[in-house]
Amino acid sequence: MTLREEVEIRKTFAIISHPDAGKTTLTEKLLLFGGAIREAGTVKGKKTGKFATSDWMDVEKERGISVTSSVMQFDYDDFKINILDTPGHEDFSEDTYRTLMAVDSAVMVIDAAKGIEPQTLKLFKVCKMRGIPIFTFINKLDRVGKEPFDLLEEIEKTLDIETYPMNWPVGMGPSFFGIIDRKKRTIEPFRDEENLLHLDEDYQLTTSHAIESDSAFEAAIEELMLVDEAGESFDEAKLLTGDLTPVFFGSALANFGVQNFLNAYVDFAPMPSGRLTEEGDVVEPFDSAFSGFIFKIQANMNPAHRDRIAFMRIVSGAFERGMDVTLTRTGKKLKISRSTSFMADDTQTVNHAVSGDIIGLYDSGNYQIGDTLVGSNQKFHFEKLPQFTPELFMKVSAKNVMKQKHFHKGIEQLVQEGAIQLYRTLYTNQIILGAVGQLQFEVFEHRMNSEYNVDVVMEPVGKKIARWIENEEAITDAMNSSRSILVDDRFGNKVFLFENEFATRWFEDKFPDIKLYSLL
């Protein structure tokens, strides 16, 4: 198989949603259809000992939520599919934002009862900004929810994107009978014992069949005819530019409508796309020279081995285990002899991978998030990945002073994953952690205890306004005060932590020559 043929069968997407919309459950069912797992776990089934395959951390299993992006690869219908299951909780949106930089399309999961929720809106905007295609799965149709037209209108108005329903529900909640496939003119009944029903061009049943809820069926047909009369056709070009989203109705937990969605996804989702470099060029997936970038680092996927994995998206060419690459940030040449593919925390050695694939590189401390790796005789940097300005801060120290070595190792490794940021006060060297949300601190504390056997003392510093400085040479000691704490970030850059907006404006008025800036 040629490189082009290999690349053309790759599909790489992230699943995004608000917490509890059913994102991780949908991921499980997709893996079932791909033959990657025999039985889906469930984030609700703590007593049974079954947990979602994509939720592999202890803290995820205990809380029933995803707090880190998982990567899973499987084969389906002659395609190789890479799924990235992202954290739904807003406190971990930075991890999700970076993950969205590594995919070619996204699947947006919406709770039929709740519609568009805040986190869904935030993540959608990132997808829209990148212009990546979005497929929508409206979940939990077997529960009472909003009317289909209301949901479509909400998506269009709130997200400013056209919708095209690929199927249509018959009933909802207790009266949910099934879904109508608009293209095939078939009804897939919700209950297993029913058979597929066929409709003619006028949506009339081709065989006599008693439907439990005739009124729901009649209402669904009327609604579908209204949709058809609107005359809007499925526009694949608009899908590929992110201006139209195909909409699917179903129930992930009941595994209903999921395979229909998956079949349509592999038909219409794009193959791997190119990526822009800081130098202004586009590296295309069919370029023969190898390149890729690190978008995630995860410590202790196997706590027994204290491993550290750097997740790399291959952008161009082919990866071969044992090949030599250059880390462009440092110019250092590396031989990649240990590489893996993923099923959440289950890994296997990868000998060959191509554009669009996500692989894991065992890391002894060489890599940072955003690093570019290239083959021989190349030198460029892919566009930087987003980094957020933290809003919450905590002083942290080891409870047991005898465990300083483990404490500092844990701090170093968890900070490199990018969910929390590290700062040190001048002179006293006090460690301060910054995060976007409180839950990040709780996960940090849990992981320090469970993975590094260190109990930590965390003292809230509260909300601060962090600002970096363009002209550090102009800073003086007089600028460091209780209302504008001067610290170093982990790269040695100076950062002011201002007490509030008033303190920030006061500082800018008093020291107009200091040029401050924030991250995202």
Tally of residues, the chain: 520
Instruction: Examine domains 275-374 and 392-517 and report if their fold is the same.
Output: no
Q: Give Cα 224 to chain centroid, integer Å.
A: 33
Find the radius of gyration of the CA atoms of the chain: 25
What's the pLDDT score for residue 326? Answer: 96
Query: Strand 244-249 relative to strand 134-139: parallel, antiparallel, unpaired?
Result: parallel
Q: State the binding site for GTP.
A: 17-24, 85-89, 139-142
pLDDT at 28 over 50: yes
pLDDT at 289 over 50: yes
DSSP 199: B
The predicted-structure confidence for 399-444, as pLDDT tens digits, reads as follows 998 999 999 999 988 888 777 899 999 889 999 999 888 888 988 9
Give 115's strand partners.
111
Q: Give one word for 473, left, alpha or beta, with left for phi > 0 and alpha for psi -120 to 50.
A: alpha
What's the pLDDT score for residue 374? Answer: 97
The superfamily (CATH) of domain 13-69+85-268 is: P-loop containing nucleotide triphosphate hydrolases (3.40.50.300)
Which whole-number Å values give the CA distances from 306 to 212, 245, 364, 398, 416, in the listed order? 57, 42, 11, 20, 15
DSSP 448: H
The predicted-structure confidence for 160-216, as pLDDT tens digits, reads as follows 999 999 999 999 998 898 999 999 989 888 876 567 888 888 888 887 665 655 788
DSSP 478: G
The predicted model gives 346-364 an average pLDDT of: 86
Q: Give Cα 423 to chain centroid, integer Å.
A: 26
The predicted model gives 234-258 an average pLDDT of: 94
Class of domain 392-517: alpha beta
- Where in the chain are the domains? 13-69+85-268, 275-374, 392-517
One-letter amino acid for residue 216 of the chain: A
Residue 487 three-state SS: strand
Class of domain 275-374: alpha beta
Cβ(359)–Cβ(320) under 8 Å?
no
Cβ(123)–Cβ(100) under 8 Å?
yes
